[in-house]
A and B are shown apart, each in its own frame.
Chain A
Amino acid sequence: MAARAGRIGLQNLPREIEQAALQRGELPARAQPAARKRRLHLVAGILLLCAAVTAALAAPLLTPYAPDAINAGVRLSPPSAAHLFGTDAFGRDLFTRVVYGARLALKLSVLSVFISAVPGILLGLAAGFYRGWVDQVVSRLIDAWLSLPGLLLALLVIARTGPSLDGAILALGITGVPGFYRLVRSGTISLCQLPYVEAARSVGVPDGRLMLRHILPNLLSSIVVLTTMRLGTFLLAGGGLSFIGLGAQPPDPEWGAMLAEGRDYYSTAWWLFAFPAGAMILTVMGFNLLGDGLRDQLAEY
């Protein structure tokens, strides 16, 4: 039978059989590289983000130039000792702009996640805790929210605020509310069935305190994971919006806006593409790796 089972069948024996075979030493023990690999993800993510945060905080110390200082003498010069990442079409130092761009990137992702997390968490707590009509009303509202696919809701908001970085932050924040709402609502519902909540309620802990001090702390790990993932998603989405002109506006050293500005020169000046895009991808990967790593670490508890 084993021969007939083929590759797939052999490697996917039911768990009990595999365990039994393992104990008898008939199968090579599967190494446990998974945990170590995941810790590596976590460390890589933290390192990447540390680099981004350092760049954001210490931008003026890292570079002698200003991000908007125009120098017509060195237009479109390739990377050199004086200009590590080269210069753009206005002769601005690209390294300086990429480093200052980290400030805008972190501002965009942190603020927009904050805007989606706070109402999402509060509404989710209330709906999951009270159920009944509160849950019905809020959940239907969130369904409607989600029926505008992708970033369409963000486009509606930007239509009102006008194209700007702040508008994009608000718009992305609003599109992110349902994710936090759903996570917290379902978590609250299952926690409310546990005896400790019942016990706290029976000794007269007020509702607000029960939600914030007894339920919310137990949801914190999953909220942290979602937050980290969203930081990366919003950074990407915000970069896309800036690129098509609906987010940060040109003189600002936002990575997406920089990529849009350099677009006409790519075929001769590769650095205008490589460095802003690289900065963006590495930062997003940092958030994703951190999120993956945190999820695996926190899942162990």
Chain B
Amino acid sequence: MQRVFRRLVSTMLVLWVASLIAFVILNAAPGDAAQALIGENASESQLQALREAMGLDRPLLARYAGYLSGVLRGDLGESLISGRPVAQLVGERFVSTLILSAAAALIASVLGLLAGLWAAAHQGSWAELGLMSLMALMLSVPGFVLALLFTLVFSLKLRLLPVAGGGSLAHMVLPALTLAVPMLAMVARLSRSSVLDAARADYVLTAHGKGAPERTVWNRHILKNAVIPVMTIVGLHFGHLLGGAFVVETIYSWPGLGRLIVQAVFDKDYPLILGAVLLLAVIYQLFNLLVDIGQGLLDPRVGGEAV
């Protein structure tokens, strides 16, 4: 319990420093949000007036303190473009991103685990070599190229699925698959090697030696131990999925947080960027925390001193 508490405190500290870094990157001199908003052609007095209206004439740290106290009250400021509260904009989009990431993680862990187990059971065969080579290839194809390929084949040639957009299950298939592919390859490689490692462990030999049936050894000894590292990597990668999905979301026009951030970057809508990025950072840290705790619960070896 004390371990969890200490981990929680250090997570909060890390997030606080992260918010400071993000705030400073977006707000430090030279140039500022007012300059970005008003463009190159404005006169100096117009710029000054806008700065005062936006509160940008105050020192950087004072502005950060103001922002932070707002964040703690759930106020992330307002979007420079639409004028709506950032918390509201981010909240609307967040669910879509979460659903998409969860679908991708689900596809990747189920298919990846199956592929990995199958490969482990057929170790040394040509089929295994082929499957694992395919997995290696899947890791080195860029996500956006995969997205283009999928659109080309499934939407333009076969006309099975919509090209882009959001709202229905059919819209989600291609983006979820695109996000799942590299993760699937990772899960397959990891589960294969952890099954092989577990099968080699002393306790499995002992189980065989005392005459436990094959099926029991598989289920109780090999699979149970092999699944732990796989769950860890899925949990960690899920957080990464949230932050890395913006390219895929933009390509498929999926109405998620990533696409919102990309649009905000084009618009130089700094409060919106900051709010969305911080939300993702919090979720990401939360997932890391859950993975750590879950690992401690599942694997008694991790308990005590680790982390």
Contacts and interface: CB of A to CB of B under 8 A. Distances in A.
Interface in A10-49: 11-12, 14
A5 B222 CA distance: 12
A56 B277 CA distance: 36
Contacts of B141: 281
A130 B243 CA distance: 34
Contacts of B148: 259, 263, 266, 273, 277
Given A149-B281, A152-B277, A159-B270, A4 B211 contact: yes
Given A149-B281, A156-B273, A11 B140 contact: no
A241 B242 CA distance: 16
A65 interface: no
A293 B277 CA distance: 37
Interface in B255-270: 261-262, 264-266, 268, 270
B17 interface: yes
Interface in A139-178: 140-141, 143-145, 147-153, 155-160, 162-163
B226 to A, nearest CB: 11
A147 to B, nearest CB: 5
Contact of B200 (A12, A153, A281, A288): A12
Contact of B265 (A143, A163, A266): A163
B9 to A, nearest CB: 12
A12 B123 CA distance: 10
A148 B18 contact: yes
B235 to A, nearest CB: 13
B281 A244 contact: no
Contacts of B246: 150-151, 155, 244
Contact of A152 (B123, B264, B280): B280
B13 A140 contact: yes
Interface stretch (B19-27, B64-72, B86-94, B104-112): B19-27
B19 to A, nearest CB: 9
Contacts of A149: 239-240, 242-244, 280-281, 284
28 contacts: A1-B209, A4-B208, A6-B214, A8-B120, A8-B121, A9-B199, A12-B196, A144-B14, A148-B281, A149-B242, A149-B243, A151-B243, A155-B262, A155-B277, A156-B22, A162-B268, A236-B142, A239-B142, A240-B144, A241-B247, A246-B266, A256-B144, A259-B144, A267-B152, A267-B156, A267-B157, A277-B145, A281-B140
The 5 A-B pairs at the shortest CB distance, nearest first, are namely A150-B243, A149-B243, A150-B244, A144-B17, A12-B200
Interface of B: 13-15, 17-18, 20-22, 25-26, 31, 120-121, 123-124, 140-145, 148-149, 151-152, 156-157, 195-196, 199-200, 202, 204-205, 208-209, 211, 214, 217-218, 222, 239-240, 242-247, 250-251, 261-262, 264-266, 268, 270, 273, 277, 280-281, 284-285
Given A159-B26, A244-B251, A267-B157, 15 more contacts: A1-B208, A8-B123, A8-B222, A144-B21, A148-B22, A148-B280, A148-B284, A150-B245, A152-B261, A155-B246, A157-B25, A159-B265, A160-B26, A244-B144, A266-B156
